[in-house]
Amino acid sequence: MMDKFYVGVCDLITSSLSQLENDKPQLYSRVQLKEFTKDFSQPLGSGGFGDVYKGQFPDGLFIAVKVLKNIEFKEKVMEKQFVAEVETMGRAYHRNLIKLYGYSYEANTKFKALVYDYMENGSFHKILFEKKLDIPWAKLHNIAKEIAQGISYLHESCSPQIIHQDIKPSNVLLDSNFSPKVIDFGLAKVNTGDSQFEQTKIKGSRDYMAPEVNQPEQVKLSCKVDVYSFGKMLFDILGSKRNHVDKRWFPGQVWEKYKTNQLDKFILECGIKEEDKENAKRLAIIALLCVEHNPRARPMLSNVVKMVEGEIKQLNTPVAPFYPDYYLSESSSMSDSRDC
């Protein structure tokens, strides 16, 4: 009986270790990827750095295969981003981060590919800006919360810390249940040193880029660059229900309405229903807190999650979002002013 017990325990341990090994990104050949994707016959999309194809593992699991383009003058950048993606996603596991099943690399042909989980509902960008689907406000609110959870995991639960540096709606995909997964870690910074780091090249998308990233003088950066980008994405969510086109800058409109105590009316004008007004108003204030020009004044993402959920009931007062001169200030009235 004892022997059978130990055999059972050994089998369980062996199985668990094998599963852990399988959870790591696996190396696939180009031949395997051609088989999985039926010779790359089902394109899902295309971008500046690669083309994405739908595929399927032999066990029936659907996957998305991103084949990176060979662009000669961008070759070094592509190599760095490929390595960053594999290294970063090889150490990060969270339900709101895309799962990287594996990769392919052939030095002689410069063939590079990444194998991800397939997301049925595609890009969050298309839903927000192309009105691909009319998602209820409650679902949008939950998507915002889950994105914050995923980024918070990178900042506060990973060791070493991971800073994404390119948070935006097109880098979020939605699964069949509209649960978001943060993708594209090609610009990610694995922060092995202090809480702050220096950056020699500007990274990220301009519309979502924190002001300190684009300073003429070199400044110390932190995970608060992701907080700023997330705040800008919250504005995208708030404005996604609008049926009219207003050429004025939407985040600036939110700030002006907040300062003049007209935010309640403005929320309704944005196409959000009365029953969702308070919830949306709260999200607007959180967005303003996230985009404070002073990085120290921005909340940590773990606290943002608590704000969105209502666990932190009393929100701080936004001080100076969008005002460059405030960035130089060393003082802040925010309670969550520590660096990450």
Where in the chain is CATH 3.30.200.20? 25-117
Per-residue pLDDT at 203: 63
Per-residue pLDDT at 117: 94
The answer to whether residues 316 and 332 touch, using CB atoms and an 8 Å cutoff, is no
Active-site residue, 166 included: yes
The answer to whether residues 89 and 25 touch, using CB atoms and an 8 Å cutoff, is yes
Tokens of 324: 């460059």
Overall residue count recorded for the chain in this entry: 340
CATH architecture of 124-328: Orthogonal Bundle (1.10)
User: Binding site for ATP, residues?
Assistant: 66
Q: What is the pTM of this model?
A: 0.84
- Distance, in Å, from the CA atom of 321 to the CA atom of 141, rounded to the nearest integer, reads 22
Any residues with CB less than 8 A from the CB of 189 and at least 6 apart, and which?
A: 162, 163, 165, 197, 199
Where in the chain is CATH 1.10.510.10? 124-328
User: Binding site, residues?
Assistant: 66
Q: Which residue has the tokens 């300062």?
A: 259
Reading the chain (340 residues) residue by residue, the pLDDT tens digits are 446 555 454 554 444 434 445 568 899 999 999 999 999 999 998 877 789 999 999 999 999 999 988 766 567 777 888 888 888 887 788 999 999 999 999 888 889 999 999 999 999 999 999 877 789 999 999 999 999 999 999 999 988 899 999 999 999 999 999 999 999 888 888 876 655 555 545 566 788 999 988 776 666 789 999 999 999 999 999 999 887 767 788 999 999 999 999 999 999 999 999 999 999 999 999 999 999 999 999 999 999 999 999 999 999 999 888 765 444 443 333 344 444 5
The yes or no reply on domain 25-117 and CATH 3.30.200.20 is: yes
Of the candidates 3, 51, 117, 166, the residue annotated as catalytic is 166
The answer to whether residues 330 and 260 touch, using CB atoms and an 8 Å cutoff, is no
The answer to whether residues 290 and 299 touch, using CB atoms and an 8 Å cutoff, is yes
Distance of alpha carbon 88 from the chain centroid: 13
Per-residue pLDDT at 8: 52
